[in-house]
Structure 1
C-alpha cells in the first residue's frame, strides 16, 4: 500500500507523535544512529501493543471471547488503552517517515483494527450491562460529582493493583461509584476510538443503545404519539387522565431523563463538542419533541369543560417553570426545534386560557334559569362561579403573564376599582385585576336580573345580600383578595349593608310602623288596644313570611337579627311596659298582649335558618346552629 494512502488511517492530527527533524532526514550520514534508535523504539512499541492486543483478540482466544477486559482487570484495561494510544502515535510516525517500511505500518494497522474491534465490544458491553447504573436518574443524581475519577484513569500507575484503583471511589455511594466508573470507562474507550479514527463506530453503538433507553423511558412515562383527531375523539375524563400523566412525566423527564442523558453525553464525549451535540440530538430530539408537543394538542382540542382551564394552566406552569432548564439542556442549535416546540405549546396554551375565560364569561351571561332560590339563599350560579374564580386565583402569577397584553374588557360599565388594585406591586396586576373584577361584575349583574323574579321585593334584597356576601367571603378567604384589593372588598361590603337595610325596611317596616313613635306617650285604653292588635297582626305576618328566609353567612345573619332586634324589641318593650296594664284586666291583657318582649326576642333569634313550616325551602338549616348559639342571640336581642 502506498505511504500516501496509509495517511488516511490516522484520524487525529492533534495526537502527539515522535518527532524527526527535517535536517536529520536530509543528511543520511548523521541520521543513521537516530534512525536506528527510532526503528528500535517503533519495533518495541508495536511488539508491546501486539502482546496485549492479541491476548484480547476474540477471534484467536476463547478466553477473550467470553471475558470482559474492563470487568476482568482494570489495570490491564488501562494497559490496553495506553498500548493502543502508543500504537496510534507510532502509526503517525511511520506515515510521516517517507522512507519507513510499509510492513511495519501494515502490521500496526492490523493490530489497530483488532484493538478497535475489541474496544467496540467493550463499549457495547459497558453500555448494555450498566443500563441500570447509566439510567438518566442515576446519572443526573451524580451530576455534582467532580471529574476526579476520569482523571484518575488517565494518570493511575499501571503497577497499582486493581483494588487500589477502585479505592479512589470509596467516598462515593455504591450506586454512584458504579455509575461513575462506567462513565469513566466509556470516556476512556471513546477518547481512544476517536483518536484512532474510529469515531463513527463508537458513536453508532452509543446512539443505538442510548436512544433505546430514552425512547423506552418516554414510553414508560406514558408519552405516546397522538394526532389532533385522536385527541378530539377522546372524552374529557380520558384526556384529563392523559394530562395528569403528562404533568408528572414532564417533571421526571426534565429532572432525570434528558438531564441525565445530557450529562452522560457531555462526559463520555468531553473531547469533542460536535460529537457531543450529534449524540445528544439524535438520542433525545424525537422524544423531547413528542413530550412538548402534547400540550399543544390539548390546547387545540374542542372540548371545553370548566375544569379544562386549570389543566391548561398546570401545563403552562410546568413548561414555564422549567423553561431555563429546557434552554440549557436543549441549547444546541440542532435541538432548537425542541425549544421551538415548547415555546409554541406555551403560546397555544395561553391562547386556550384566554378562550376558556371568554367561555366562562359567556356561560354566566347566557344563564337563563328563572327558578327562584327558596328563602333568598345562594344561587347555584354564584356558588359555581366563585368556586371557579377562587381556583383561578391560585394561578395568579401565571395568569398575570398570560393576560398581560390581553386587551382589557369593555369599560363602559366597569367601575374604576376593578381596573386597578393599589395593594399590588406587580406591574401586571392591573390587567388581571380588571379581568377578574369584570367577571365578578358580570356575575353580579346577572344576579341582579335574577332578583327581579321575586315578587316579594324584600326577599329580592335578601337574595342580593346573601349572594354578594358569599362573593366577598370567597374573595377574603382566597388569593382573590390580593388580586382585587382591600378597597374592592370595602366597597362591596358597603353594598351588602345597603341590601340588608333595604330588606329590613321592606320586610319589617309595617311592624315598626304598628307602634307609636313615642311608645311612652299617654294614650287612651282603646287606642292602646288598637296598637297591640296591629302589632300582633303585623308581627305574625312578617314573622311567618320571614321564617322561610335563609341567611347562610353567620356573621351577616347575626348582624341583621341584632339590627332588627335592637329596634323592634326595645320599642315594643317600652310600649308594652307602659300600656299593657291599660287594656283591662288579666283576661283582656292575655287577649291583646299576646307577645312579651322576651317572646319577640326568641322568635327573632330563630329566624334565617331556613326552618320553613310550609316546607317550601330546599335548605333546612336549623340543625346548623347549636342551642348555645341560639341562647346567645336571644341575650343580644333582649335589650
Structure 2
C-alpha cells in the first residue's frame, strides 16, 4: 500500500509540533456550521458533492497524508488539521445521502458525485492506515477513532452496494446448451433435460454497472477490505451460477436412486450431465472469467476469485461421475458413455486454464478424469475377455457371419470414432502401470520410415487378433471342410469390409492388415474351390476313358453318374449355405462357373455322342451347360426353393 500511497505525494506539509491557524474557506459559497460541535457529523451545509470536491482540490488532505507517510518519528502524536475534520464530516454526510436513496442501487445516479466519493474514501483509508502507526494523544485518539468509524461505515455501504450490483442483470440473450456426442435417451431425466434452448439473464451487466463495481472493489481492496469484497463477490456469483445451472435442469442425484436405475435411464442422465458441463465450460466459465477481469484491477485477485467460484461449482458437478464410478459395473456397453464423460472433463480442464490458483481444481478434475479413463480401459479390456471366453460348441447355421464377429467389429468401428480419447486413456494407463505388456510395436509406413503404433491401435489389433483366432477355432466345428472355408470367408470378408468402410478404423489398422486379410481370404477361396469342385472336375477328366483306343461306355456312364450325384449334392447343400456379402457371393459364383462350365461343356461335347440317343442319354446326361449355370447362380442364398431349382429338380427326376 505504501508504494501506491507514495505515488500521490503533492507538495509539503508543516512539520509536526507547530499548531496551524484556523482554516477558513476563501469562498462565500461554503460555510462550516457548528464548528465546535465535532461529533455532529451530519450537519454540513451546502452541496456535499461540491464541498467534497472543494476540500479535495485544496490539496490539504493530500499534504496531510504525505506528512503522515514521510514522518520518521512515530512516537510524536501528529497534529490533525482543521480541514481534516471537515473532510470527515462531508464524507459521513455523503454516506447518509447514499443510504437514504430509494431503490436497490445507490450509486450510478451522478458519475462526478460517485467519483469524488471514491477518491475521498481512498484518501481516508490512507489517513487511517498511516495514522495507525503513530502514538496518539487524547485529541488524536478521538479523531482517529472517528475516522475509523467513518471508514467502516463507508466500507459497509460499499460492500452492500457491491452485493446489490452483482445481483442486478437486465439484458438477456439466447444460450444454447451443447449436445454431447451420443444422443439423449428418451427416458425421463431427473435433470429435467428440456432446456436445449433457453433465455437467460446470466452475466449481462450494463457497462455502467461494471464500471461502478470495479471502482467499489478497487476502493475496498485498497482500504484493506479485500476479504470482505472477495467473500461478497464469491457468494453472489455462486448464487448466480447455481441459479443458472438450475435453469438448465441440473439437480443433484441421490446415489441410491441412480444405482437403482436401468442402464438406459442412466445413459440419459450421463448425456444431460455432459451437456450441462459443456455449457458451463464454453459459456458460463468464460463469461465468469471476463467478469472477474472487468471488476478487479489485479490479475492475481481476478484469477483467484474465478478459480474459487469455478472450484465450488466443479466439485459439485464432479459428484455425478463419482456416483457412476461407485457402481463398479464396467460392462463393455458402457464404454462410450464413459468416454463422453472423459472428453467433457478434458474440456472442463482446458476451460479452467493453467493459473496457479487453479492448481487444486485442476488436480481434482484430472483425478476424476483418470478414474473415468481407468474404468474405460477396464471396459475395453473386457471385450478381450469376452472374446477369449466365447467357447460355444454349436456352429453358426449355414456358415454365416458369427454374431461375435458382427458385435466385435461394430464395437471397434464405433470405438475408433473415439480413438483420440482412447489413445489418451491407454497412454495414461500404461504410464501408470509401467507395464510393457501392450507397448506399441514398430510399424513400417508407406514412406518406408519406421514409427510407433499408438497405444490404442496396438490394443485394437490385439482384439482383432483374438477375434481371428476365435473364428479359426469355431471353423473347426464344421465337419464339412467346404462349409468351414465358407464360414472363414464370410467372417474374414465381414471384417475386411468393416475396415474398408470406415476411415477411422482404417487409420488404425493400416494397409498391412488389409493386405494380410485379403491374402487369407484368397487362400480360403482356393481351399474351397479345391475341396468342393476338385472331385467334380475329376469326373470330367479324359484320363481312363479310352481302352485300346476306344471310349469305354461303362466308364463314361460312371463318370456321368458320379458328376450328376456330386453336382446334385452340391446343389442341395450349398444352396442353403449363406454368403451375405454380395460381392463375395458374386466372386465365388464367377470363379466356380469359370472352372466348371467350360470343363463340362468340353466333356459333354466330346463324349456325349458316345451314349445312345434317347433314354440312355436322358438317363446319364441330366444337365446341360445352361442348367449348370442356373444352379451355380443360386448357390449360397440360404434357401432351398426357387423357380430355377424347381425346374432342375423336374429335369433330374
Q: Scaled by the length of structure 2, what TM-score is found?
A: 0.73
Change over 3 Å in CA distance of 1:209–1:321 after alignment to 2: closer
Task: Give the corresponding residue for 1:373.
Answer: 396
- Give, in angstroms, the shift of residue 277 of structure 1: 5.5
> Which whole-Å deviations, capped at 9, do the CAs of 1:452-507 have from their partners, x for residues lacking one?
22222211121111111111211222223222221122112111121122222222
- Give, in angstroms, the shift of residue 181 of structure 1: 3.2
> Which whole-Å deviations, capped at 9, do the CAs of 1:328-364 have from their partners, x for residues lacking one?
3xx344x433222222123222322232233211111
**Kept in 2: contact 1:222–1:246 (CA 8 A):** no
- Report the 3-state secondary structure (helix = DSSP H, G, I; strand = E; otherwise coil) of the residue aligned with 2:443: coil
Aligned to 1:363, which of 372, 376, 386? 386
Residues 1:324 and 2:344 are matched in the alignment? no
CA distance in 1, matches of 2:491, 2:402: 7
- Give, in angstroms, the shift of residue 202 of structure 1: 3.1
Change over 3 Å in CA distance of 1:612–1:305 after alignment to 2: farther
- Report the 3-state secondary structure (helix = DSSP H, G, I; strand = E; otherwise coil) of the residue aligned with 1:56: helix
Task: Give the corresponding residue for 1:130.
Answer: 169
**Correspondence list, 1:159-178, <5 A:** 178=205
Query: Which of structures 1 and 2 has the larger relative contact order (alpha carbons within 8 angstroms, sep 6+)?
Result: 1
CA distance in 2, matches of 1:125, 1:399: 48
CA distance in 1, matches of 2:471, 2:526: 18
RMSD (CA atoms): 4.0
Task: Give the corresponding residue for 2:537.
Answer: 512
**Kept in 2: contact 1:292–1:338 (CA 8 A):** no
Task: Give the corresponding residue for 1:348.
Answer: 371
> Which whole-Å deviations, capped at 9, do the CAs of 1:514-539 have from their partners, x for residues lacking one?
11247998735554444333322221
CA distance in 1, matches of 2:498, 2:629: 31
Aligned to 1:474, which of 479, 486, 498? 498
**Kept in 1: contact 2:121–2:151 (CA 8 A):** yes
Task: Give the corresponding residue for 1:485.
Answer: 510
Change over 3 Å in CA distance of 1:231–1:376 after alignment to 2: same
**Kept in 1: contact 2:443–2:450 (CA 8 A):** no
CA distance in 1, matches of 2:490, 2:558: 36
Task: Give the corresponding residue for 2:581.
Answer: 553
Residues 1:386 and 2:376 are matched in the alignment? no
**Kept in 1: contact 2:23–2:82 (CA 8 A):** no
Aligned to 1:213, which of 224, 228, 240? 240
Task: Give the corresponding residue for 1:301.
Answer: 327
Change over 3 Å in CA distance of 1:271–1:192 after alignment to 2: same
Change over 3 Å in CA distance of 1:291–1:87 after alignment to 2: same
**Kept in 2: contact 1:232–1:303 (CA 8 A):** no
- What is the number of equivalent residue pairs in this alignment? 554
**Kept in 1: contact 2:485–2:525 (CA 8 A):** yes
**Kept in 1: contact 2:438–2:459 (CA 8 A):** no
The structure with the greater share of residues assigned to helix is 1
CA distance in 2, matches of 1:438, 1:546: 34
**Kept in 1: contact 2:169–2:202 (CA 8 A):** no
Task: Give the corresponding residue for 1:633.
Answer: none
Residues 1:576 and 2:591 are matched in the alignment? no
> Which whole-Å deviations, capped at 9, do the CAs of 1:118-160 have from their partners, x for residues lacking one?
433332221112276699999xxxxxxxxxxxxxxxxxxxxxx
Aligned to 1:56, which of 81, 88, 98? 98
Aligned to 2:106, which of 37, 58, 69? 69
- Give, in angstroms, the shift of residue 40 of structure 1: 7.0
Change over 3 Å in CA distance of 1:513–1:108 after alignment to 2: same
- Report the 3-state secondary structure (helix = DSSP H, G, I; strand = E; otherwise coil) of the residue aligned with 1:307: helix
**Correspondence list, 1:240-251, <5 A:** 240-251=267-278
**Kept in 1: contact 2:499–2:506 (CA 8 A):** yes
Task: Give the corresponding residue for 1:153.
Answer: none
Change over 3 Å in CA distance of 1:120–1:610 after alignment to 2: same
**Correspondence list, 1:200-279, <5 A:** 200-220=227-247, 232-271=259-298, 273=300, 275-276=301-302, 279=305
Change over 3 Å in CA distance of 1:384–1:186 after alignment to 2: same
CA distance in 2, matches of 1:116, 1:550: 85
**Structure 1: 5+ residue stretches without partners:** 1-10, 59-63, 139-173, 412-417, 614-621, 628-639
Change over 3 Å in CA distance of 1:570–1:314 after alignment to 2: same
- Give, in angstroms, the shift of residue 248 of structure 1: 1.6
CA distance in 1, matches of 2:266, 2:272: 10
CA distance in 1, matches of 2:445, 2:365: 34
CA distance in 2, matches of 1:504, 1:91: 103
- Give, in angstroms, the shift of residue 322 of structure 1: 4.6
CA distance in 2, matches of 1:433, 1:281: 37
> Which whole-Å deviations, capped at 9, do the CAs of 1:423-461 have from their partners, x for residues lacking one?
398965254333222212222222222222222221112
**Kept in 1: contact 2:401–2:491 (CA 8 A):** yes
- Give, in angstroms, the shift of residue 46 of structure 1: 5.1
Aligned to 2:481, which of 457, 462, 469? 457
CA distance in 2, matches of 1:208, 1:134: 24
Task: Give the corresponding residue for 1:439.
Answer: 463
- Report the 3-state secondary structure (helix = DSSP H, G, I; strand = E; otherwise coil) of the residue aligned with 1:421: strand
Aligned to 2:445, which of 423, 426, 433? 423
**Kept in 1: contact 2:105–2:165 (CA 8 A):** no
**Kept in 1: contact 2:159–2:229 (CA 8 A):** yes
CA distance in 1, matches of 2:580, 2:278: 43
**Structure 2: 5+ residue stretches without partners:** 26-57, 61-80, 178-200, 645-653
> Which whole-Å deviations, capped at 9, do the CAs of 1:93-133 have from their partners, x for residues lacking one?
87799798777666655554554444333322211122766
Task: Give the corresponding residue for 1:287.
Answer: 313
**Kept in 2: contact 1:203–1:279 (CA 8 A):** yes
CA distance in 1, matches of 2:24, 2:600: 131
**Correspondence list, 1:569-608, <5 A:** 569-608=597-636
Aligned to 1:499, which of 495, 507, 524? 524
Change over 3 Å in CA distance of 1:327–1:370 after alignment to 2: same
Task: Give the corresponding residue for 1:8.
Answer: none
